[in-house]
Amino acid sequence: MQPETILESKSIRCTPIRQAILEILLKKGCPMSYKEVEAFLPEESDRVTIYRTLSLLFRKGIVHRVMDMKGTWRFCAHDPGISGCPGDHAHFECLICGRMDCLTNTCLPYIDVEDGAVVKGKHMVVYGVCSLCMK
Amino acid sequence: MQPETILESKSIRCTPIRQAILEILLKKGCPMSYKEVEAFLPEESDRVTIYRTLSLLFRKGIVHRVMDMKGTWRFCAHDPGISGCPGDHAHFECLICGRMDCLTNTCLPYIDVEDGAVVKGKHMVVYGVCSLCMK
DNA sequence: TCCCAGATGCAACAATGTTGCAGGAGTGAT
DNA sequence: ATCACTCCTGCAACATTGTTGCATCTGGGA
Ligand SMILES: [Mn+2]
Ligand SMILES: [Mn+2]
Ligand SMILES: [Zn+2]
Ligand SMILES: [Zn+2]
């Protein structure tokens, strides 16, 4: 699905930067930090605008986000044409090249918490060395 | 077990700050950020020393650490008298009061990664609202 | 006692996240 | 077309955490 279509469907004004950022996320298909996204944008792109755009996309449910093992948020868009990706899956992070991947075929386990506590979400990162970096 | 005993058993010089920090972690028994640890130390304690001490304790395997949903490391010591805590369990973080707890009775699931990739560790945070904050 | 590895304190920096504000662009109503 | 209003963007500024370098201090072994 096209970035513009997605933005319009969420009643978000379709600006060049938003379109560009969403396009990058859709094309890459893996969780990216704002820094990684920035690398694919024109030189003059503003850090805060990228930050706000990613926050907006997240708030509107267009992307999901994962915190990596360095403590930075990574944002990821899966084509909404494909049956709903709730972000409820584990992620793999390579400690060498830094790449992160969605393990969309996994499903996070049920976790028992203390009585009375309410679970809002689950977050799982599996880290190690990816196949490319192992060679 | 006493902090000094633990430090000696790992051939780490037993200094007042190390003893104090380890004692705090053992007493609280939940993953604490350096900031939280700092709050229980004398005013004049140096930020970097705390940082280095926590790193050391982690490196020596005395404590384990978890990244919380704000992207900061939390360190946690379980009494080594109790049968080995590898830190291989999930954690619950309350989004209201910020407290984090070890779910020591859980066990992280096996996750299938791409062929050729090597898993070094797994990291799972369940977040929501704790029983106290629900009231 | 002397020496040296190790511990600490302080300055300094990087990265990310976050907010405030002013100016600019787009939209819809008149 | 004009105007008003909302929203978007760019820039400055700040907080927090993590991290390193260096000078100094300290404890323990030779
Ligand atoms: Mn994902
Ligand atoms: Mn734990
Ligand atoms: Zn890799
Ligand atoms: Zn709570």
- What's the CATH number where A40 sits? 1.10.10.10
Phi, psi (rounded to 5 degrees) for B100: -120, 145
**pLDDT over threshold 80, residue A84:** no
Cβ–Cβ contact B43 with A under 8 A: no
Point out the nucleotide closest to B15 (alpha carbon to C1′): C7
B106-115 mean pLDDT? 91
Q: Tell me the range of A1-10, A77-86, B61-70, B84-93 where mean pLDDT is highest.
A: B61-70
Cβ–Cβ contact A105 with B under 8 A: yes
Distance between CA B110 and CA B113 in Å, rounded? 10
Phi, psi (rounded to 5 degrees) for A80: -70, -10
CA-wise closest residue to A77 among A44, A38, A104: A104
Residue A43 CA to nucleotide D13 C1', Å? Answer: 22
**Side-chain half-sphere CA neighbours of A46 within 13 A:** 6
Residue B86 pLDDT class (50, 70, 90 cuts): low
pLDDT tens-digit profile of B9-57?
999 999 999 999 999 999 999 999 999 999 999 988 999 999 999 999 9
Residue B97 pLDDT class (50, 70, 90 cuts): very high
Question: For chain A, how many residues are written?
Answer: 135
A64-74 mean pLDDT? 97
pLDDT tens-digit profile of A100-128?
999 988 889 999 999 999 999 999 999 99
Residue A76 pLDDT class (50, 70, 90 cuts): very high
Does the predicted model carry a pTM greater than 0.85?
Answer: yes
Count how many domains chain A has: 1
Distance between CA B31 and CA B39 in Å, rounded? 14
Whose tokens are 């009375």? That residue is: A116
* Closest listed ligand to the CA of A31: 1
Who has greater pLDDT, B21 or B81? B21
Cβ–Cβ contact A110 with B under 8 A: no
**pLDDT over threshold 60, residue B96:** yes
Phi, psi (rounded to 5 degrees) for A55: -60, -40
Nearest residue to D12 via alpha carbon and C1': A48
**A-interface mutation test, from B75, B92, B113, most A Cβ less than 10 A away:** B113
Give the domain extent around B32. Answer: 3-134
Phi, psi (rounded to 5 degrees) for A92: -110, 130
Q: What share of chain A is helix, strand, coil (3-state, %, to 5)?
A: 30, 20, 45
Which pLDDT score is estimated for A87?
A: 66
